[in-house]
Structure 1
């Protein structure tokens, strides 16, 4: 879901940039490269259509940004501190291994040495 919204975000950013550059300005912008805009958008020119398109695309861009922020926030609800393993960070001394004491009534084990005859 997030990858789809991220792709939509990039596409919206590119389309908004193009619509802003196509609008009539003092230096004409990219509108000079698009040919006769009056015949395409009607007698009043592209001003009204492009301003409405820019407003709509801007609104979609903001809504998509809020949706992306919400989804990323839901995926990352736990803090980075919660995922740190504290057992590996705190040095501990190894426990001493003790052997069990011998039974009190057990006979001592005496190694036998074979006699050479």
Structure 2
């Protein structure tokens, strides 16, 4: 239940971050404003949006980071994982292969063809 709530919050924050970043003006937008591109007619005024949007982006980024860490903590199993991820993903039956001896050289030669067959 908590995992689902955190994932929903994560997605909402991610979409909000994308929207806030797309609304902001870049450094090159100031040069266009000098020639009358209409930047002074925005909702926040000519320079009023920069401070609000940058603070809102920083706050959302901080919450996004905290939720990401919380999700990682929940998924990790809360300290119960003694083995690593690669050990968990190891192919089934790999323990059997480690215990057996390698096949003899003449057995391996019999299994692989010496001349490749070319389909015609």
Q: Structure 2 unaligned segments of length 5 or more: list them.
A: 31-40, 97-120
Deviation (angstroms), 1:61: 0.3
Deviation (angstroms), 1:37: 3.3
Which of 65, 74, 77 aligns to 2:81? It is 77
CA RMSD of superposed structures (Å): 3.3
Pair 1:15 & 2:7 matched: no
Greater Rg by CA: 1
The whole-number CA distance in structure 1 between the counterparts of 2:42 and 2:72 is 37
The alignment of Structure 1 onto Structure 2 pairs a total of residues equal to 79
Q: What is the aligned partner in structure 1 of residue 7 from structure 2?
A: 6
Deviation (angstroms), 1:44: 3.8
Equivalences for 1:92-111 in 2 at 5 Å?
none
What's the secondary structure of 1:74's corresponding residue? coil
Moved over 6 A (4+): none
TM-score normalised to the size of structure 1? 0.53
Deviation (angstroms), 1:45: 1.9
Contact 1:37 1:45 in 2 (8 A): no
**Cα distance per residue 1:69-108 (max 9 Å; x no partner):** 00001267365868xxx9xx97xxxxxxxxxxxxxxxxxx
Q: What is the aligned partner in structure 2 of residue 50 from structure 1?
A: 53
TM-score normalised to the size of structure 2? 0.52
Select the structure with the greater relative contact order (CA < 8 A; seq sep ≥ 6): 2
Q: Structure 1 unaligned segments of length 5 or more: list them.
A: 29-35, 91-117
